[in-house]
Structure 1
Amino acid sequence: MKNLALAVVMAGLAGPIWADPVQITREMPAAEVPLPEGGTATISRIQDNDNVVSGDWAKTSRACPPFCVQPMSPAEGVITIGELELIAMLQDPKAIVVDSRIPDHYKTGTIAGSINIPYTEAADRLDALGCEIDFDGFDCEGAKPVALFCNGPWCGQSPNAARNMIKAGYPADLIHYYRGGMQVWRMLGLSVEN
């Protein structure tokens, strides 16, 4: 009996004996997404069943303003999406996923397959999203579906980017808003690329 107790204690020190696999969904253990610079990345969830969000991502109460809870939709016509829809857009060669955070935030880690267009530049860089520069600004007849995200449900960077893009002529119905942002992405243990 003493040896059995010692074996149980030693196994506990080595880590969990039965760790349940962590998949994205029952049917999707992971997802391959193309990278803007070429190649692919795998999006999966952290396999440690005891993993917790830590550091700045664990903060729940930031001063408002500027960190106020954002509406579910930042503008009329914009489509709010969740993680599975964002992964599908990352896999869609016709869609573009934009990390609309400032460069300092982007450098702390992002979602693989996304590009960085800071919210302060979004209305001026519509050519990166399928619009063409013309004499009056942009012709967005060839605009692509785009998903915007930032730090989380309290972050105003991607909602501001969406509103500014619409003012500059980008079709609202082609803008998708991942409201959960990096905070929820990390909370779910999904892959972060540095």
Structure 2
Amino acid sequence: MRKDIDPDEMGHGPFYKVLNSVVVPRPIAWVSTRSADGVDNLAPHSFFTVSCVDPPMVQFTSVGKKDSLRNATETGEFVVCLANEPMFERINATGTDFPAEVSEFSAVGLTGEKSAKVTPFRVAESPVALECTLHRALELGDSTVVIGRVVHAAIDEDVFTTDERGNSLPAVERLRPLARLGRNEWSTIGDVLDITRIPYKHWPGHYTPPEA
């Protein structure tokens, strides 16, 4: 038996909580911006993903008109840092509704690191920083999707490992990313499952799942 929910009948606020509880886990963009007045801002956004491969683009969604959105659209730049497990409490703290004139870097004790190609700082304590220039800000209802072109990536050397094919890539167990769930819940990576896709030319025609 399923529970049927009509978003219009429930209302956008309560249904927003339902969406957050079922669209899980959600990676977190720890977005660094600088205002036109020179104030550094840092905030977590859990509506975040890759939006294009060539050219490389990422996107985060601002629900409402937040400082990250205003700064990114006014200056045309932002940095997405990886929200990692060791920074859990400070990432959560940067979600506090500080006044626009307060820098979250200073307020929660984080180190601003000079970026290579954009003005906003990178978070020195984060192992990954994707420096972005604004490509487009798309307004959808009460939210805005901010799409940025990645113009530089800075990744700690010690998170790289080499796979069986000789590819040197960041390893998830070394990145230790956090994700958002519903309510006030967060998650770590947990168990990592590894499986390859079956090319169609190798498809057996009749696939029987293995018995549990």
Higher helix share goes to which structure?
A: 1
Higher strand share goes to which structure?
A: 2
TM-score norm. by structure 1 comes to: 0.23
TM-score norm. by structure 2 comes to: 0.21
Larger RCO, structures 1/2 (Cα 8 Å, 6+ apart): 1
